[in-house]
Amino acid sequence: MDRRSFPRPVRPGQFRVAVLASGTGTNLQAILDKVHGRDGIEVVAVASNNREAIALERAAAAGIETDVFDRPSYPDREARDYAIAEWLAKRRVDLIVLAGYMELMSSAFVARFRNRIVNVHPALLPSFPGLAAVQQALDHGVKVTGVTVHFVDEGVDSGPIIVQRAVEVPPSREWQELEDRIHAVEHELLPEVVRLIAAGSVRVDGDNARVVTVAPDSSGR
């Protein structure tokens, strides 16, 4: 069976990561704290659609280049995503992490960086895709929800799943308590996926491109 690692580093020895974020950026912070500057992984660029995003302040505090690509500056999504894509390509990024980036990417952007874009979603996909996933899960009455990290395709939270972890809905069924539990899991899972991809441990099945395998980690972590 043909198994291919994704993505392949553009240059050996250094794995260049970009993060797109719209808001608070606690997932960006987890990546900065846990994998940035280790094992050849460097977060080299952080962009946002929102110039007020706290994520931009976190990046600046870490000395990382930032830019803003906001809606009013572009005629449409295609033009904006082309500008983002050119900005990322100039910075020779190996992996693009959507960490609370509240925009859908155009199909041209997805095609240009196929299997190089990952997203973190606060539910066990394919349940509860799209906005307000935590509230969707509560409204549905589930007892268990969770976190998914997946490759991004042209659909809404529909790309191949890399890792998932379950989170129990607390007895209170309060949104904030569940959100806190989910965030804590995201902050473990997303940096871990960046590290595994950088290590070449994430592979897509050649026979079924929906099936992603994560190889045991040779580092023992």
| Catalytic sites, residue numbers | 121
CB 80 within 8 A of CB 71: yes
What's the rounded Cα separation, in Å, for the pair 184 and 168? 13
Of the listed pieces 3-11, 12-20, 114-122, 166-174, which binds ligand GRF according to CB under 6 A?
114-122
The nearest distance, CB 99 to ligand GRF, in angstroms, is 5
Q: Looking only at residues 34 through 93 of this chain, which bind ligand GRF when binding is defined by CB under 6 A?
A: none
CA neighbours closer than 13 Å in the CB half-sphere of residue 100: 20
Residue nearest to ligand GRF (CB): 100
| Contact between 159 and ligand GRF per CB under 6 A | no
Instruction: Report how far apart, in Å, the C-alpha atoms of 147 and of each of 129, 184, 189 are.
Output: 11, 10, 8
Strands laid side by side in the 161-168 sheet: 65-68, 41-48, 15-20, 95-98, 117-121, 144-151, 161-168
For ligand GRF, give the closer residue by CB, 100 or 160: 100
For ligand GRF, give the closer residue by CB, 102 or 209: 102
| Contact between 135 and ligand GRF per CB under 6 A | no
Query: Site residues (CB under 6 A) for ligand GRF?
Result: 21, 23-27, 99-100, 120-122, 183, 186
